[in-house]
Amino acid sequence: MTPEQFRTHAHQLVDWMADYLRDVGSRPVTPDVVPGQIRSQLPTAPPEAGESFATIMADLDQVIMPGMTHWPHPGWFAYFAANNSPPSILAEMCIAALGAQCMSWNTSPAATELEQTVMDWLRQLVGLPDTFTGVIQDTASTATLVAVISARERARERHGNVPLAVYGSRESHSSVSKAVRLAGLGDDAFRAVPVDETFALRPDVLEAMIDDDRARGIIPACIVGTIGTTSSTAVDPIPALANIAEAYGSWLHVDAAWAGSAALLPECRPYFAGLERADSYVFNPHKWLLTNFFCSAYFVRDVPQLIRACSANPEYLRAAHDGEVVNYRDWGIALGRRFRALKLWFVLRSYGAEGIRAMLRQHLELARQFRAWVEQEPEFELMAPSPFALVCFRHHPAGIDEAELDRHNEALLARVNASREVYLTHTRLSGHYTIRMAIGQWQTTEAHVARAWELMKRAVSYEL
């Protein structure tokens, strides 16, 4: 494809993308396919001769699109939304065209310096003090792995090669226990701390668990607190965790993968109290801040510690300015890095802090409204507090036992999702099957939330 042919096809593709974003809400949100259906339509061997762009696009429309789950759909209430947005998509196009590998300052000075700038903008926007420095990681899972590795290194520097433990609540994300395993601390080095009735970590039990470990010669290397757990957006008591971490010399990592964007709102800041005392913090602009995958914001207080844990400095990467610049290849796991700062820059400048705050407030308001509808219906019940824009609930008709209730709600959710107008997913809270209504897609309006509630009520009365 020559640059001129690229120009023609890129214009066609931009039209395709704009149509998609405009019309995605009128598509079924989930595909109607069975396993293997898409693959069976694809050739088993690669093409020997090049094919035209028109042929490839026709197959995109006819073979691939019917198998897509539409995350940008305004009826998206599943998991947590993974947002994109027009400015972010434009930046992604630009990043692809530039094709820069931004591992070092030397390999693209502007990419490094823009990342320094936008991460500092983001730090200010979420109210972190300037004792924190930011770096973009691909995912929160990777950021948490980096935090656990940093904690491991710090504990080993202080205590030598002794057994280490990492603590997080039973509701903490699976990436925490996975990070402990991947960091080589052993399958049993993760301690799942019980939670209270709000699903937040119990600091009294945490302290007892640490004392018990210490009595057996196990060092509490790291405590992971969560602001906005995956199942119910519970908020761990970060000030209490910071007290414990300081008393025992543990690294405090805070995971606010989804809810972290809410810190842009002054009214949500109380949920983030104590964060300034953490050693590291991650939240995902690729969830609730209008920025395409991958873009995780990782903030640390002790940058030299991070670099000690992650740097590799082979001769072939050394460059003249190494002593004066930031080389982000030493701030994470991968060597190669995309120019991710560009999309954050496009997003922050296009919407401004005000535009982002307006979107967040709208989602919080829609969740408040949905929660009120659930509360007003006698046969529905809320299953957890909802500090942000996730509502956890179930249908609870009288006279049904718990096992039956689980089956009933599972069937109810299946009927709602079978409409393919909206998509919700579930979790278990205190062992009970729970429906999650996660609001956060940038094109979602009150009408979409109201429709989800209407479908839920119709499903209850078997009209679906």
**Cβ 287 to ligand PLP, closest distance in Å?**
7
Q: Which is nearer to ligand PLP, 384 or 412 (CB)?
A: 384
By C-beta, is 256 or 374 nearer to ligand PLP? 256
Q: Is 198 helix (H, G, I), strand (E, B) or coil?
A: coil
CB of 56 to ligand PLP, least distance (A): 29
Please provide the DSSP assignment of 68-80 as one string.
Answer: ---TT-TTEESSS
Q: From residue 220, how far is each of 158, 185, 189, 216 by CA, in Å?
A: 12, 12, 10, 11
Binding segment for ligand PLP among 137-145, 234-242, 374-382, 422-430 (CB under 6 A)? Answer: 137-145
Q: Of 267, 269, 272, 268, whose CA–CA distance to 254 is shortest?
A: 272
- Nearest approach in angstroms of CB 228 to ligand PLP is 6
What 3-state DSSP class applies to 104? coil
In whole angstroms, the minimum distance from the beta carbon of 2 to ligand PLP comes to: 38
Residue (189 or 254) nearer to ligand PLP, CB: 254
Q: Shortest gap between Cβ of 138 and ligand PLP (angstroms)?
A: 8
Contact status: 291 vs ligand PLP (CB under 6 A): no
The least CB distance from residue 178 to ligand PLP, in Å, is 10
**Cα atoms in the Cβ-side hemisphere of radius 13 Å centred on 291:** 29
Q: Which residue type sits at 358? A: A
Among 29, 30, 74, 80, binds ligand PLP (CB under 6 A): 80
- Side-by-side strand order, sheet with 280-283: 133-137, 296-300, 280-283, 251-255, 219-226, 164-169, 190-193
What is the number of alpha carbons within 13 Å of residue 454 lying toward its C-beta? Answer: 10
Residues within window 307-336 making contact with ligand PLP, judged by CB under 6 A: none
Least separation in angstroms between residue 363's CB and ligand PLP is 16
Nearer to ligand PLP, 383 or 455 (CB): 383
Tokens 């603590």 found at: 167
CB of 294 to ligand PLP, least distance (A): 7
| Residue 224, strand partner residues | 168, 253
52-60, 226-234, 309-317, 386-394 -> range binding ligand PLP (CB under 6 A): 226-234
Residue 91 vs 227, nearer CB to ligand PLP: 227
Contact 448, 422 (CB under 8 A): yes
| Shortest CB 96 distance to ligand PLP, Å | 21
Q: Please tell me whether residue 226 binds ligand PLP under the rule CB under 6 A.
A: yes
Which residues inside 138-197 make contact with ligand PLP, applying CB under 6 A?
139-141, 173, 175
Q: Which of 107, 169, 250, 296 binds ligand PLP (CB under 6 A)?
A: 296
- Element housing 254 (H / E): strand 251-255
**Per-position x/- string for 96-135, each x denoting binding to ligand PLP as judged by CB under 6 A, each - no binding:** ----------------------------------------
Q: Which is nearer to ligand PLP, 252 or 455 (CB)?
A: 252
Q: Where are the alpha helices (DSSP H) in 164-269?
A: 174-182, 203-215, 238-248
Write down the least CB distance from residue 419 to ligand PLP, Å.
Answer: 24
Cis-peptide, bond into residue 370, ω within 30° of zero: no
Q: 66 phi and psi, to 5 degrees?
A: -65, -15
Measured CA to CA, the distance from residue 461 to residue 449 in angstroms comes to 19
Q: Which CA distances in Å does 83 have to 169, 256, 355? A: 27, 16, 15
Q: Total residues contacting ligand PLP (rule CB under 6 A)? A: 14
Between 78 and 306, whose beta carbon lies closer to ligand PLP?
78
Least separation in angstroms between residue 234's CB and ligand PLP is 10
Q: CB 170 → ligand PLP: shortest distance, Å?
A: 13
Site for ligand PLP in 227-286 (CB under 6 A): 229-230, 255, 257-258, 284
What is the 8-class DSSP label of residue 335? S
For 23-64, list the strands marked E by DSSP: none
User: What are the tokens at 113?
Assistant: 């310096």
Task: From 2-10, 179-187, 223-231, 418-426, give the range in contact with ligand PLP by CB under 6 A.
Answer: 223-231
By C-beta, is 140 or 165 nearer to ligand PLP? Answer: 140
> Between the CA atoms of 152, 154, 158 and 162, what dihedral angle is there, to the nearest 10 degrees?
0
DSSP 162: -
Interface stretch with ligand PLP, choices 225-233, 262-270, 337-345, 370-378 (CB under 6 A): 225-233
What is the per-residue binding string for ligand PLP in 8-47, x denoting contact by CB under 6 A?
----------------------------------------
Where does residue 151 fall: left (phi above 0), alpha (psi -120 to 50 degrees), or beta otherwise? alpha
Identify which of 376, 393, 454 has the alpha carbon closest to the alpha carbon of residue 422.
Answer: 454
**What angle, 0 to 180 degrees and rounded to 10, lies between the N-to-C axes of helices 140-159 and 303-310?**
90
Interacting residues with ligand PLP (CB under 6 A): 80, 139-141, 173, 175, 226, 229-230, 255, 257-258, 284, 296
